[in-house]
Amino acid sequence: MKKKVLLGMSGGVDSSVSAVLLQQQGYEVIGCTMKLWEPGDDEEESACCGSQAVYDAKRVCDQLRIPHYTINCKNEFKEKVVDNFIREYKEARTPNPCVECNRHLKFGAFYQKAKELECDYIATGHYASIQFSNRYQQYVLKKSKEEKKDQTYFLYAIPKGELERIIFPLQSHTNKEDIRKIAKENNLTVAQKKDSQEICFIPDNDYQSFLKKYGKNEKQKGNIVLKNGEVLGQQQGLINYTIGQRKGIGISYQEPLYVLELNKDKNEVVVGTEKELYSKELYAKDINWIVFESLKEPIKCKAKIRYRAKEADCTVYPDGDTIKVVFQDEQRAITPGQSVVFYDIDGIVLGGGKIL
């Protein structure tokens, strides 16, 4: 009897080709699209979870003669992802909604749907790999061979107990053109569909307007200051600034200035020189370890402090409910709210957490 797989389908080329590959590997495939967000009348529709995405996914499933389901996850998405996004910005942190979506929806609610349908596995079109590790004697999450597209940074919060029931069909592919070629060879209607790059519930990327509309996060003007407290000008609301920002701060100075900190208590934007952006240490909370239950003693590994950052050598220390990370070399613009993700020398994800 064929093993049954519930495949998350966004209507894009990656998840569509994943369906083809799973069929070729002998699985019984069921396509499933999660309805996550309903845009307002004056908003663009998301490319990955709107009505067009559902339509494209259904068309591909029809082509491949596999069943397709749509599940309504809008309430949970709003609670776990959107409301969290709004809260984090109100606390002057920069959230990563993709991490929360993967944690609570794509490998949470979706996993439960798979159990309802008596599926043996779930699958998505992420660029990542699941393998059994002899070193750790368990299934592990590992970086994709497609280094530029690797998405393990967004996947560190997957519960370790689910790994053996997850398939990433694209894990052996090394470039996007191969994926599009497979789509063309199988006459998939989405072969030339553009990749979605934006936050799915903010397709125009205007997050300030989104926060004002849904979070009632009005501009609250305050000071722009140096670290010594010297006032240089007025800021236009903390949501308009990010750590490391240089352009658009709205002040002139004798040398280029960058945003160093967003001080919620004082409603201040702290600025300084680029050199002051660098630091060797951070603390993190909400830790999810994949290869062990908890951190008992310091470990040396590599870490990324944002998706596009390079991995850097560090030592991780247990610190109660949090961890302390000390890097070998200074890191630029460590940002509260973003994730820090840890890797071993072979690209296996050890775990990760949210930067404080």
pLDDT, tens digit, 9 for 90 and up, residues 2-40: 899 999 999 999 999 999 999 999 999 999 999 988 766
Confidence of residue 192 (pLDDT cuts 50, 70, 90): confident
- As a whole number, mean pLDDT of residues 73-97 equals 94
| Interatomic CA distance for residues 325 and 261, integer angstroms | 19
Confidence of residue 45 (pLDDT cuts 50, 70, 90): low
- Ranges of beta strands (E only) in the chain are 4-8, 28-35, 68-72, 121-123, 128-133, 138-143, 166-167, 222-225, 231-235, 258-263, 268-272, 278-289, 299-304, 312-319, 322-332, 339-343, 349-355
Q: Give the number of residues written for the chain.
A: 356
Confirm whether 200 is a catalytic residue: yes
Residues 6 or more apart in contact with residue 140 via CB below 8 angstroms:
130, 131, 132, 133, 163, 290, 291, 348, 349
* Catalytically annotated residue among 48, 73, 98, 101: 101
pLDDT at 40 (0 to 100): 63
pLDDT at 285 (0 to 100): 97
CA 351 to chain centre: 14
- In this structure, the number of other CB atoms found within 10 A of the CB of residue 247 comes to 7
| Interatomic CA distance for residues 236 and 241, integer angstroms | 9
Domain with residues 277-355, CATH architecture: Beta Barrel (2.40)
Query: Which CATH superfamily hosts domain 4-125+169-185?
Result: HUPs (3.40.50.620)
- As a whole number, mean pLDDT of residues 162-184 equals 91
Q: Check pLDDT > 80 for residue 137.
A: yes
Q: How many DSSP H helices and E strands does the chain contain?
A: 8, 17
Q: Check pLDDT > 70 for residue 44.
A: no
Confidence of residue 146 (pLDDT cuts 50, 70, 90): confident
Confidence of residue 209 (pLDDT cuts 50, 70, 90): confident
Return the percentage of the chain with pLDDT > 70, whole number.
95
pLDDT at 1 (0 to 100): 81
Long-range contacts (CB closer than 8 Å, 24 or more residues apart) made by 240-245: 240/208, 241/269, 242/94, 242/335, 243/94, 243/277, 243/333, 243/334, 243/335, 243/336, 244/277, 244/332, 244/333, 244/335
Confidence of residue 219 (pLDDT cuts 50, 70, 90): low
The third-level CATH classification (topology) of the domain covering 219-272 is: SH3 type barrels. (2.30.30)
- In this structure, the number of other CB atoms found within 10 A of the CB of residue 175 comes to 13
Q: Check pLDDT > 90 for residue 263.
A: yes
Cβ atoms of residues 262 and 313 within 8 Å: no
Cβ atoms of residues 356 and 340 within 8 Å: no
- As a whole number, mean pLDDT of residues 121-142 equals 96
Residue type, 284: A
Q: Check pLDDT > 60 for residue 41.
A: no
Q: Quote the pTM value.
A: 0.93
pLDDT at 48 (0 to 100): 62
| Interatomic CA distance for residues 145 and 128, integer angstroms | 8
How would you classify the pairing of strands 166-167 and 258-263? Answer: unpaired
Pick the residue with more confidence: 174 or 86?
Answer: 86
Decide: helix, strand or coil at residue 151.
Answer: coil
Average pLDDT of the chain is 92
Q: Check pLDDT > 90 for residue 249.
A: yes
pLDDT at 51 (0 to 100): 79
Cβ atoms of residues 179 and 173 within 8 Å: yes
pLDDT at 227 (0 to 100): 94
In degrees and rounded to multiples of 5, residue 154 shows phi and psi of -85, -5
Domain boundaries, the chain: 4-125+169-185, 219-272, 277-355
Q: Check pLDDT > 70 for residue 261.
A: yes
Confidence of residue 340 (pLDDT cuts 50, 70, 90): very high
Which pLDDT tens digit goes with each residue over 224-240?
Answer: 999 999 999 999 899 99
* Catalytically annotated residue among 32, 200, 301, 314: 200
The b-or-e profile of 87-111 (16+ CB within 10 A means b, else e) is: ebbeebbbbbbbbbbbbbbbbbbbb
Confirm whether 314 is a catalytic residue: no
- As a whole number, mean pLDDT of residues 292-318 equals 96
Decide: helix, strand or coil at residue 128.
Answer: strand
Q: Check pLDDT > 80 for residue 248.
A: yes
pLDDT at 344 (0 to 100): 97
pLDDT at 49 (0 to 100): 62
Cβ atoms of residues 343 and 334 within 8 Å: no
Q: Check pLDDT > 70 for residue 47.
A: no
pLDDT at 145 (0 to 100): 84
